Structure 1
Amino acid sequence: MNIKTLEDIERLESIEEIILELKTLADSGAIIVVEGRRDVESLRSLGIKGDIRLASQQPLLEFTELLSKSGKEIILLTDWDKKGGIMARKIIYYLLTDGIMPNTDIRSKIRNLVKKRIKDVESLNNYVNKLRYELQDKK
Structure 2
Amino acid sequence: MERVDEQEVKQIKDFIEMLNYESTNGAVVLVEGKRDSNALKALGFSGKITVLNSHRGLSRVVDNLEHASKVILLLDMDSKGRYLTQRLLCMIANRKSVDLFYKRRLMEITRGRIRSIEELMAYRYSIAMSNPLADLSA
Fold shared per TM-score above 0.5: yes
> Is the Cα contact below 8 Å between 1:79 and 1:85 reproduced in 2?
yes
User: Where in structure 1 are there 5+ consecutive unaligned residues?
Assistant: none
Larger Rg: 1
Corresponding residue for residue 128 of structure 1: 123
Aligned to 2:105: 109
Q: How many residues matched?
A: 128
| Residue 83, structure 1, aligned to residue 84, structure 2 | no
Separation of aligned partners in 2, 1:40 and 1:71: 17
- 2:71 is aligned to 74
Where 1:92 maps in the other structure, the secondary structure is helix
Bigger fraction of residues in helix: 1
In structure 1, the residue matched to 2:15 is 18
1:96 aligns with 2:93: yes
- Residues 31 and 73 of structure 1 are in contact (CA less than 8 Å); yes or no, is this contact kept in structure 2? yes
Q: 1:32 to 1:71 in 2, by over 3 A?
A: closer
User: Contact 1:81–1:120 at 8 Å: present in 2 too?
Assistant: yes
Query: What SS does the aligned partner of 2:46 have?
Result: coil
Cα distance change on mapping 1:97 and 1:27 into 2, 3 Å: closer
Give the Cα separation in 1 of the matches to 2:49 and 2:30: 6
Superposition TM-score, scaled by structure 1 size: 0.78
Amino acid at match of 2:83: I
2:33 matched to 1:39?
Answer: no
Please state how far the C-alpha of 1:81 moved relative to its aligned partner.
1.4
Per-residue CA shift, 1:48-89, capped at 9, x if unaligned?
A: 11210012222112321332x214211111111111111111
Q: Report the CA distance shift for 1:129/1:54 in structure 2 as closer, same or farther (over 3 A).
A: closer
Instruction: Note the aligned Cα RMSD (angstroms).
Output: 2.6
Unaligned runs of 5+ in 2: 131-138
